[in-house]
C-alpha cells in the first residue's frame, strides 16, 4: 500500500490518514429503474469505526461491495489505500481483495466441508503466508473459540460461526474490515458479543466499516454513523463517545434512533 499517496489531515487535533475515498459515486444496476447509489462522496480515516446505516434497499451493501472491489461503480471513483480500484486490472484487484480487505457477511459463508481452523486459513493459503496456522490459532483464542478449532461449522452456534468468519476475515491482517449486517442472523446475546468483539478490534487499531439497518446498534457501537437513504448520504455524525445512548446522538433522526 502506498502510504505516501494518502491525504493526511486532522480530526479533533489528532493526525489522521485517509484509507477510503469515494468521489461522486453512482451505481445503476442493469435493469434497475432507479440508481442504487446517486452521487455518494465520503472518506474513511484509518482507525475509524464507521457504521453506514439506512433502511433496506438504501444502497448500503452496494456501497460496501464497491469499497471491497467486488463490484464497480457506474460513475465516480473508489480509492482505497491510495489506489484507484477502477484503474486496477483483474489480478491486482484480486490481490487487493485478498490482502487488504476482510469481509464479514450476515450469513457467515463458511465452507461446510472444512473445519473451523481450515476455514480461517483459506485466505492465508491463497496468499501463501508462512506461519498462518499459528496466527489462525491465536485469532481463535482471541475470539474465544479455540476449543472448536477442529469442529465443522454445522456443529457450531450462529454466534460461534460468525466469530469464525471474523477470524477468517482477519487472518491476512487487512487494513479494512467490512461487515455487512454481521449480527443480522444472530440472537440478541450473540449479536452483542459480536459487536463487543468489533469494538475490541477497533480499540486495537482496526479500521472497520459496518453496514446495518439497526440504528441502536450503529449508535451504540460505532464512533461515526453515516446515514443513507435512496442511495444518498443524508447524515454523517461523529460520536465522541460510542457508548452514548442513541437518544443523545444529535443529528441522528430521533425516530430511527429510538
Ligand atoms: P441495502 O444494502 O441498503 O439493503 P442494496 O445496496 O442491497 O441496499 O440495494 C440498493 C438497491 O439496488 C435496491 O433497490 C436493490 O433492489 C438494488 N440492487 C441491489 N443489488 C442488485 C443487483 N445485483 N441487481 C439489480 N438491483 C440490485
**CA-to-CA distance for 116 and 165, rounded, in angstroms?**
9
pLDDT digits (tens, 9 = 90+) for 28-49: 999 888 999 999 999 999 999 9
**CA-to-CA distance for 258 and 247, rounded, in angstroms?**
6
> Does the pLDDT value for residue 6 go beyond 80?
no
Residue 5: per-residue pLDDT: 37
The residue-averaged pLDDT of 243-258 equals 43
- 224 confidence band (pLDDT: 50, 70, 90): very high
- The CATH number covering residue 197 comes to 3.40.50.300
- Does residue 40 fall inside a structural domain? no
- Kindly list the distances between the CA atom of residue 81 and the CA atoms of 207, 211, 246, in Å, as whole numbers in the listed order: 12, 20, 31
Mean residue pLDDT of the chain comes to: 89
Which ligand 1 atom sits closest to the C-alpha of 54?
Answer: 3
The residue-averaged pLDDT of 90-108 equals 95
pLDDT digits (tens, 9 = 90+) for 105-158: 999 999 999 999 999 999 999 998 888 999 999 999 999 999 999 999 999 999
- Does residue 17 fall inside a structural domain? no
Number of domains in the chain: 1
- Does residue 28 fall inside a structural domain? no
- Does residue 114 fall inside a structural domain? yes
Domain enclosing residue 183, as ranges: 47-61+89-257
- Does residue 96 fall inside a structural domain? yes
Tell me how far the alpha carbon of residue 24 lies from the centroid of ligand 1, in angstroms: 18
Instruction: For ligand 1, atom 7, name the residue with the nearest CA.
Output: 61
Which ligand 1 atom sits closest to the C-alpha of 181?
Answer: 2
Residue 241: per-residue pLDDT: 56
Amino acid at each position: 500500500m502506498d502510504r505516501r499517496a494518502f491525504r493526511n489531515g486532522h480530526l479533533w487535533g489528532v493526525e489522521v490518514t485517509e484509507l477510503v475515498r469515494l468521489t461522486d459515486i453512482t451505481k445503476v444496476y442493469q435493469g434497475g429503474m432507479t440508481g442504487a447509489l446517486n452521487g455518494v462522496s465520503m472518506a474513511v480515516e484509518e482507525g475509524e469505526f464507521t457504521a453506514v446505516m439506512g433502511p433496506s434497499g438504501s444502497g448500503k451493501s452496494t456501497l460496501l461491495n464497491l469499497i471491497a472491489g467486488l463490484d464497480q461503480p457506474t460513475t465516480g471513483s473508489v480509492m482505497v489505500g491510495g489506489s484507484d480500484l477502477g484503474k486496477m486490472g483483474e489480478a491486482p484487484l484480486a490481490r487487493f481483495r485478498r490482502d487488504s480487505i476482510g469481509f464479514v457477511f450476515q450469513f457467515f459463508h463458511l465452507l461446510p466441508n472444512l473445519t473451523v481452523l481450515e476455514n480461517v486459513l483459506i485466505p492465508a493459503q491463497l496468499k501463501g503466508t508462512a506461519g498462518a496456522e499459528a496466527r489462525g490459532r491465536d485469532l481463535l483464542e482471541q475470539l474465544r473459540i479455540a476449543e472448536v478449532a477442529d469442529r465443522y461449522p454445522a456443529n457450531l452456534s450462529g454466534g460461534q460461526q460468525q466469530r469464525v468468519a471474523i477470524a477468517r476475515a482477519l487472518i491476512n491482517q487487512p487494513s479494512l474490515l467490512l461487515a455487512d449486517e454481521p449480527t443480522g442472523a444472530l440472537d440478541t446475546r450473540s449479536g452483542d458479543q459480536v459487536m463487543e468483539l468489533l469494538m475490541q478490534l477497533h480499540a486495537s487499531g482496526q479500521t472497520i466499516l459496518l453496514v446495518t439497518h439497526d440504528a441502536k446498534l450503529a449508535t451504540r457501537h460505532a464512533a461515526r454513523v453515516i446515514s443513507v437513504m435512496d442511495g444518498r448520504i443524508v447524515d454523517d455524525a461523529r460520536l465522541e463517545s460510542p457508548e452514548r445512548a442513541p437518544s443523545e446522538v444529535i443529528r441522528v433522526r430521533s425516530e430511527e434512533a429510538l
